């Protein structure tokens, strides 16, 4: 699923986290341009999705977090703060809805939550979900749509108008994103092929018949895993430009998985390693995610780089 669809689908999932209002909302704005109508329509969708959290949410903080996510800023809430706020918010939403409150004894009130932190939490999620279409949105009008829904005001688009706009907008942006993905895929494939051709001549680099390249950083003395083995590893994964997309080292916890459940480059590469070894792998896109986008910043046809330690065969 491409970014636009992920963004629009994510709107319907935000109810589990919370709501939003806006200091810039106009009481009786008039939608005159297509861009304004799109922004308002998306605001309606988000407002309906986050309504369960509205009583606990500061709208100015929500808007600040959305704008911050759109600009690629650092999170306004630390991971520790988010981990503390999210469960308390879920408990408060469940209690208001007359549902069993997870992790709370009957008759016990859930803890209060700082409204600005709830706004930062919910706004960050909304902003990240909508980031792929941020250039299509007028944030002021988007916030007006959110506010009109949360405040129960008369909406400036009927449901029928919003549905028609949503469908045409989705189709248009999907076409645009598909074209951008195809161009990125061609660029990544060309850059990856050129890099692997150069890297092949580097001292200490070996190339397998499939095109996988590897270097022994530390040799091991244990057995080698079979293609269907389960293993425990530490690893660090980057793009060719050094962008980190995944790292068990950063998480401080080794990973465990079956070699028949991962990309082909890993299945082959780990099979070359004795327990205790540490290798570096350069994985061509056809042994990774191919023309599909992978996790995080992995674009179509990306060549991936991994440093891998094989700790144990399980």
Residues serving a catalytic function are 235, 245-246, 263, 289, 306
Determine which helix (DSSP H) or strand (DSSP E) holds 269, and give its type and residue range: helix 264-271
Could you give the count of Cα atoms lying within 13 Å of 313 in the half-sphere of its Cβ?
Answer: 17
Three-state DSSP at 313 gives strand
Are the beta carbons of 310 and 230 closer than 8 angstroms? no
Q: Distance between CA atoms of 86 and 88, rounded to whole angstroms?
A: 6
Q: Distance between CA atoms of 213 and 286, rounded to whole angstroms?
A: 13
- What does 271-291 look like in DSSP terms, one character per residue? HTPPTT-EEEEEE-GGGTTTT
* Token couple for 45: 């969708």
Q: Distance between CA atoms of 191 and 301, rounded to whole angstroms?
A: 10
Q: Count, in order, helices (H) and strands (E) of the chain.
A: 9, 7
From residue 179, how far is each of 44, 53, 169, 183 by CA, in Å? 28, 37, 16, 6
- What does 6-48 look like in DSSP terms, one character per residue? HHHHHHTTGGGT-----TT--TT----SHHHHHHHHHHHHHHH
Three-state DSSP at 183 gives helix
Q: Distance between CA atoms of 188 and 202, rounded to whole angstroms?
A: 21
């Amino acid at each position: 699923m491409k970014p636009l669809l992920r963004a629009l689908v994510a709107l319907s999932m935000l109810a589990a986290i919370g709501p939003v209002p806006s200091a810039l909302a106009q009481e009786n704005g008039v939608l005159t341009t297509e861009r304004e109508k799109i922004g308002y329509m998306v605001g309606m969708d988000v407002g309906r999705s986050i309504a369960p959290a509205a009583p606990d949410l500061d709208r100015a903080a929500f808007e600040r977090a959305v704008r911050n996510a759109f600009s690629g800023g650092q999170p306004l809430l630390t991971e520790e703060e988010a981990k503390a706020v999210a469960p308390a918010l879920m408990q408060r939403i469940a209690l208001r809805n007359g549902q069993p409150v997870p992790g709370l004894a009957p008759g016990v009130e859930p803890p209060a939550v700082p409204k600005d932190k709830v706004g930062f939490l919910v706004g960050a999620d909304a902003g990240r979900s909508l980031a792929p279409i941020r250039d299509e949105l007028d944030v002021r009008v988007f916030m007006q749509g959110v506010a009109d829904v949360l405040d129960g005001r008369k909406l400036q688009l009927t449901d029928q108008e919003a549905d028609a706009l949503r469908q045409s907008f989705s189709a248009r942006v999907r076409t645009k994103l598909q074209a951008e993905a195809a161009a990125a895929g061609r660029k990544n494939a060309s850059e990856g092929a050129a890099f692997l051709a150069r890297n092949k001549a580097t001292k200490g680099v070996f190339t397998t018949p499939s095109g996988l390249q590897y270097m022994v950083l530390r040799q091991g003395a244990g057995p080698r895993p079979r293609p269907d083995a389960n293993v425990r590893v530490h690893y660090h994964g980057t793009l060719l430009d050094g962008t980190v997309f995944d790292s068990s080292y950063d998480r401080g916890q080794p990973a465990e998985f079956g070699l028949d459940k991962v990309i082909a480059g890993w299945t082959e590469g780990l099979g070359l390693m004795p327990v205790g070894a540490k290798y570096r792998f350069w994985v061509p896109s056809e042994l990774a995610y191919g023309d599909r986008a992978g996790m995080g910043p992995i674009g179509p046809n990306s060549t991936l780089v991994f440093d891998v330690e094989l700790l144990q065969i399980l």
